[in-house]
Amino acid sequence: MNKIILIGNGFDLAHGLKTRYKDFIDDFWEKEKEKVIAETRKDSDNFVYTDETITMISPCHPSTLPQEIHNNERGYKWFYKNSESGYGKHINDRLIKLSVTFKNVFIKEITEKTDLEDWVDIEEEYYSALKKCLDDENEERIIKLNKDFLAVQKALEKYLLNQTKEITNASPKIKENLISLLNHPINDGDDILILNFNYTNTECYYIESSSDYFPNRIECIHIHGELRNKDNSIIFGYDDDIDDKFKRIEQQNNNNFLKNVKLLKYLETDNYKRLLNFINREKFQVFIMGLSCGISDRTLLNKIFEDENCISIQVFYHKEEDGTDDYYDKISNISRSFTKRTLMIEKVANKKDSKPLT
């Protein structure tokens, strides 16, 4: 029987790559802080710094703020605690506050939410913001949201380029789990598809390790694009035609609402059609490794999960050192990609038949 192996961000995290959105956001604001300190210039009575993200005005140069601020406050918290909305600092009995205007409202909002919840899915937050634009019927707001979102995408791509590295410390547990799937005896004619939702190519290590067993039998599709590949550029957006408001969005005579629909962006390459060809070929099993199965990919996941050729779905969950795991969270997210709940019960393997990823 054919196999589809879904790979998500948890797979990269298990290899030591700092690819969480929170890692990206923390790094983004730390670099913004460094630019402010290095590039702020005197303008009349104040010091001023501006870029596409913020405009900052201060009665003193940021580098003259007390040293403990630079040492103890990273990134966004540095801006917050030294701004008009925060606490500021006393210098020579004078309260100094930075006047910070956030020009990219979207990055500010996802940063604040991440700071509160320690986790955020940027694509899901974009979709939520898009639906608010739909309710407000505000043309300028949707144009501004798309502009801010594009800036975040470019910053994320730049960040990931700096994070990727050659795998030298492959997880023994992942190697055991994935290599066993790739090298498990299969009948002549059975094939394996690795559907990678990441922009990185961490799976290459394992494909190369299995090439002696099944050359040309393992296909890999980077469904959301790849870093450093202009022929398969990054896809960043939303895809949730199960949601009622998605239907309203499609009915709008306004392409700004459709600018970041993944299903439309899939047409830029043959990746989606290759996936459909594999699905339609014959029966297959699905194995999920490090993919959260969030609603921003619900249309695609629904197509895979509810297809009549999909026989079973097995989740590799994340297990913490204290023994807790995220199996329940994983299957909860998977359930949202089903429109027929009885199919989910039939296809998803129960916990005792599932394994930890790492």
- The yes-or-no verdict on residue 214 having pLDDT over 60 is no
- Within a domain: residue 147? no
Over residues 281-307, the pLDDT tens digits come to: 999 999 999 999 988 999 999 999 999
- The yes-or-no verdict on residue 90 having pLDDT over 80 is no
- Per-residue pLDDT band for 316 (boundaries 50, 70, 90) equals very high
Do 80 and 177 sit in the same domain of this protein?
no
CA nearest 222: which of 195, 242, 255?
195
Among 85, 102, 119, where does a domain finish?
102
- Work out the average pLDDT over 27-52: 92
Do 325 and 350 sit in the same domain of this protein?
yes
Mean pLDDT taken over the chain? 86
Do 234 and 306 sit in the same domain of this protein?
yes
- The yes-or-no verdict on residue 68 having pLDDT over 50 is no
Do 233 and 320 sit in the same domain of this protein?
yes
- Per-residue pLDDT band for 71 (boundaries 50, 70, 90) equals low
Q: Give residue 134's pLDDT.
A: 87
- Within a domain: residue 110? no
Is the pTM value of this prediction over 0.75? yes
- The yes-or-no verdict on residue 104 having pLDDT over 90 is yes
Buried/exposed 124-163: b ≥16 CB within 10 Å, e otherwise: bbbbebbbebbeeeeeebbebbbebbebbbebbbebbeeb
CA nearest 202: which of 3, 17, 4?
17
- The yes-or-no verdict on residue 88 having pLDDT over 80 is no
Could you count the other beta carbons within 10 Å of the beta carbon of residue 49?
A: 22
CA nearest 317: which of 343, 348, 296?
348
DSSP symbol at 56: E
Q: Dihedral angle at the C-alpha atoms of 121, 123, 126, 130, nearest 10 degrees?
A: -130
206 versus 28: which is more confidently predicted? 28
Percent of the chain with pLDDT over 70: 86
Q: Give residue 203's pLDDT.
A: 87
Range of 68's domain? 27-102
Q: Give kind and range of the element (H or E) at residue 94.
A: strand 94-96
Q: What's the rounded Cα separation, in Å, for the pair 244 and 151? A: 28
Do 170 and 81 sit in the same domain of this protein?
no
- Within a domain: residue 143? no
Per the structure, the count of domains in the chain is 2
- Within a domain: residue 278? yes
DSSP symbol at 211: T
Residues 6+ apart with CB under 8 A from 115: 76, 77
Do 33 and 15 sit in the same domain of this protein?
no
